[in-house]
Amino acid sequence: MKTRVSRYHPLLVTLHWLLALLITGALVVGFFGLAATPNIDPQKIGVLRLHMAGGMLILGLMVIRFVVRMLTARPARATSGHPSLDRIVPLFHYGFYVLIVATVATGFATGILAGLPAIVFAGSGAPLPPSFTIYPTRVAHGYLAVVLVGFIALHVVAAFYHQFSKKDRLLGRMWFGRRAISPSAGQ
Ligand code: HEM
């Protein structure tokens, strides 16, 4: 019999908020640090190092998050009150995973195509290419990051709708606390 719980596993809660912070950080560094800095700027290699290492950490934590999500008990699926919307939500959540992995993959591919591991992490001293936009993967990376911002905005709006309009305390499910539901509850 499946264990009934009222919240996600504490490890999943930790990973959720840590990833929220890291992904927001990667977007801020990407849009306001990298895209706004020309490749001849000597500071750029340091910003790239931070962004690329952070992006790889995001991928590693996403894989762990996925495994933990599969192996631990989850609360019953939340309902928005609109059956058609409820059918889309799981697709949206899987889409989120795919989008993040695709963003990391295109960033990683750009790094490989531009020979960045040697320049950024091994200190080869070689200059950066004049621009990264010659690589289609870089162009895709930029578009995917914009779509990701849209997904995050929708995700936050949906969470606030549940919390403050439906008042079903959805945010509490993604926080720490007692998880077990007593067998008599909800009967
Ligand atoms: C979820 C993870 C990531 C997010 C959210 C993210 C986000 C961004 C954003 C917003 C930009 C600027 C896009 C634009 O203005 O068009 C960018 C650029 C870039 N990112 Fe990422 N990125 C991630 C992971 C990675 C990884 C893993 C790598 C490489 C290992 C990487 C390498 C790059 C490179 C090389 C650029 C181009 C910088 C430039 O054109 O000056 N990114 N990223």
pLDDT tens digit sequence for 42-90: 999 999 999 999 999 999 999 999 999 999 999 999 998 899 999 999 9
Indicate whether residue 56 lines ligand 1 (CB < 6 A). yes
Answer whether residue 182 is part of any domain: no
Average pLDDT over residues 159-175: 94
Q: Is residue 183 part of a domain?
A: no
Range of the domain at 31: 10-173
Would you say residue 70 lies in a domain? yes
Return d(Cα 178, Cα 160) in angstroms, integer. Answer: 22
Whether 27 is in a domain gets the answer yes
Pocket test for ligand 1, best of 28, 31, 34 (most atoms within 8 A of CB): 34
In 3D space, the residue among 158, 64, 56 whose CA is nearest the CA of residue 111 turns out to be 56
| Residue 4 within any structural domain of the chain | no
Per-residue pLDDT at 37: 96
- Read off the DSSP letter of residue 177: S
142 CA distance to ligand 1 centroid (A)? 7
pLDDT above 60 for 1: no
Q: Is the C-beta atom of 96 inside 6 A of ligand 1?
A: no
Give the C-alpha separation, 88 to 140, whole Å.
Answer: 25
Ligand 1 pocket member 15 (CB < 6 A):
no
Ligand 1 centre to CA of 30 (Å) is: 5
On whether residue 3 sits in a domain, the answer given is: no
| 187, pLDDT greater than 60 | no
Whether 187 is in a domain gets the answer: no
**Total domain count, the chain:** 1
Quote the mean pLDDT of the chain: 94
Tell me which amino acid residue 168 is.
Answer: D
pLDDT digits (tens, 9 = 90+) for 94-147: 999 999 999 999 999 999 999 999 999 999 999 999 999 999 999 999 999 999
Report the amino acid identity of residue 93. H
User: 106 CA distance to ligand 1 centroid (A)?
Assistant: 8
Tens digit of pLDDT for each residue in 2-41? 678 999 999 999 999 999 999 999 999 999 999 999 999 9
Q: Are 135 and 113 in contact (CB under 8 A)?
A: yes
Asked if residue 161 is part of any domain, the answer here is yes
Ligand 1 centroid vs 61 CA: distance in angstroms? Answer: 17
